[in-house]
Structure 1
């Protein structure tokens, strides 16, 4: 199988449906950042020793990241989107699951800890960049709005599992020394009331 096609040599690529777009377009930047994030998640999976549940979760996240990228690469109305509200609800349930397994904090922590937790914190920051890139693309394009919600929750997910991994390895979080109380204890009911 030949991997190169030479079709991108002039700075263009084809999206779903065959339309050619510049490789530095907002669309390509957005799904490119998701691809980068997916690779980081792959590194995290390779570092997991015995936690099959976490490994399965992360591989499911990788599947969803491909769905997000596909939705961004699909021009509005060309095909059905792959990601939907159920995926975001699943992700929220996983955030809740892992958040309950680490001590609560009210201050900023330094990204780090075990090698796996450090990679997960790195994934969190790339998820934030992906969110910014997707929002930038969204301003001028019709797209699946569920992708923005899902990727927004992803950074919370990576934060929660990084803390879970450190707690499991008895690795204490290191607090940012000049942080005040920035996190408040809120419940799902508080969030629902806010809606």
Structure 2
């Protein structure tokens, strides 16, 4: 039975045994080692998406929730882009419009936040702390996408998207604390001396 056009995948069985020898398939069907840089890049993107799921499972403010749900879906698009060699045409790719949308969200949420006069320590509310964990994972995904690009070539908008997303996650962490009326933990240089 073939898939419908709006059905991105049909999984009838989760285990395939195809990866038991340390290899997996890219989106074009080619087989590579699970240690391939592309697998690391989209694996970390998947980890980031899972962390956003944890944030969304908590007491996430509705305005932040809406943005994170959009980002979760787009992260699957990022993973789809990373798992198909750049030379394959006609596949789902990260676009400038996706980056522009992140920048608009950054500007919108940042507008009401107080100016920063110190570095922010991860914490405050559980939502803010979770967003900081997601932010650092996003930075790792970005580094792994860059490494994959050096080795295999990657859509340059993937790394731009991840870079902008880490900025948004930082801003959303600050916004989560502000919306909850929680003090923002700030770095106090040399405070333990």
* TM-score normalised by the chain length of structure 2: 0.88
Residue of structure 1 in register with 2:49 after alignment: 38
Task: Please give the per-residue CA displacement for 1:121-174, whole angstroms capped at 9, x wherever unaligned.
Answer: 100100011111111111122221111100001111000000001011111112
Residue of structure 1 in register with 2:38 after alignment: 27
The counterpart of 1:17, out of the listed 14, 20, 28, is: 28
Residue of structure 2 in register with 1:135 after alignment: 146
Aligned mates of 1:142, 1:5 — CA distance in 2: 28
Aligned mates of 1:88, 1:48 — CA distance in 2: 27
Give the aligned CA root-mean-square deviation in angstroms.
1.3
Residue of structure 1 in register with 2:104 after alignment: 93
Aligned mates of 2:183, 2:26 — CA distance in 1: 45
Flag as ranges the 4+ runs of structure 1 deviating above 6 A.
none
* TM-score normalised by the chain length of structure 1: 0.87
Aligned mates of 1:124, 1:172 — CA distance in 2: 19
Q: For residues 42-81 of structure 1, what are the structure 2 equivalents within 5 Å?
A: 42-49=53-60, 51-78=61-88, 79-81=90-92
Displacement of 1:47 in angstroms is: 1.4
Task: Please give the per-residue CA displacement for 1:97-119, whole angstroms capped at 9, x wherever unaligned.
Answer: 11112211121111001011100
Aligned mates of 2:152, 2:166 — CA distance in 1: 23
Name stretches of at least 5 consecutive residues in structure 2 with no aligned partner: 1-11
Aligned mates of 2:120, 2:62 — CA distance in 1: 27
Aligned mates of 2:112, 2:54 — CA distance in 1: 23
The number of residue pairs the alignment matches comes to 178
- Decide whether the 8 Å contact of 1:110 with 1:176 is kept in 2: yes
